[in-house]
Amino acid sequence: MHKRLLGYFFSTLILFALPAFAARSYSSVDQRSGWSSCSGCAGAGGAATYSMRQGVSSPSLDGSDVQFNLGGSVPFSHALFWNRLGDALSTETHFTLDLQYYLKNPAASQGLEIAANQAFGGKRYKWSMQCSFGSGDWRTWEAANGRWVSTGIACKRPSAYTWQHFSWEYQRVNGRSLYISLTIDGVKHYINKSFGPESYSENGMSVRYQINGNSTQTDYSAWVDKMNFKAW
């Protein structure tokens, strides 16, 4: 009898452990090939001057990161950079995104945006977090109505020449994009907000990083390192 119970116990443990082994893990996304970028699609002011450079050794945490650059003359112009991780599968419903970013001149930035998308079956589920230095809070994107919604979590300008650690948990559940939690420099905040998807014709999964220009469109750069993504 005890052996049967023990066998059942271990079988149950294995059953619950299976999804972890089936997870898709992408390490050092900042060094993956296939990054794309745009400015007009990033909204706000208009076309900015922008570029990116991979394999940057300093500043860096692991010896190789990516540098995103923004400039131009149109106030509040932004630049969006994204990496397509592959075709999305409808079975993937849980996600984590972990990265660290660094600014030398935080005063030049109007804000930063970190996002991930999953598209299939004519719909795109969007999870976007915006650190708005103007309003001083973290905001989530409501794709169906095209608007930012405050989380009530404060977002202050990071200190210059300092790495800031961003960790994010989210989920697709009941046909909606659920924001679970946000952890900044080891301090965890629960969000618990969910929004509906938007119509979309393509399939795919991607992660995104956006840097936003200020009222004078002051040139600046943001470095991103140790960007790791997991889906299961």
Q: Tokens standing for 231?
A: 């889906």
Inter-CA distances, 45 with 16, 77, 125, 148, 177, Å: 49, 4, 25, 17, 28
pLDDT score at 45: 67
Q: Tokens standing for 77?
A: 């112009």
pLDDT score at 5: 44
pLDDT higher than threshold 70 for residue 33: yes
Highest mean pLDDT: which range of 21-30, 140-149, 162-171: 162-171
- The average confidence (pLDDT) of the chain is 90
pLDDT score at 88: 77
CATH architecture classification, 25-231: Sandwich (2.60)
CA pair distance 137, 130, nearest whole angstrom: 8
Question: What is the pTM (predicted TM-score) of this model?
Answer: 0.88
pLDDT score at 43: 78
CA pair distance 80, 70, nearest whole angstrom: 10
pLDDT higher than threshold 90 for residue 23: no
CA pair distance 221, 69, nearest whole angstrom: 4
- What pLDDT, in 10s, does the model give residues 54-83? 999 999 999 999 999 999 999 999 999 999
Lowest pLDDT segment from 3-7, 128-132, 174-178, 184-188: 3-7
What is the CA 172 to chain-centroid distance, rounded?
A: 15
Closest CA to 147 of 97, 110, 198: 198
pLDDT higher than threshold 80 for residue 182: yes
CA pair distance 53, 191, nearest whole angstrom: 33
pLDDT score at 11: 41
Q: 3-class DSSP state for residue 203?
A: coil
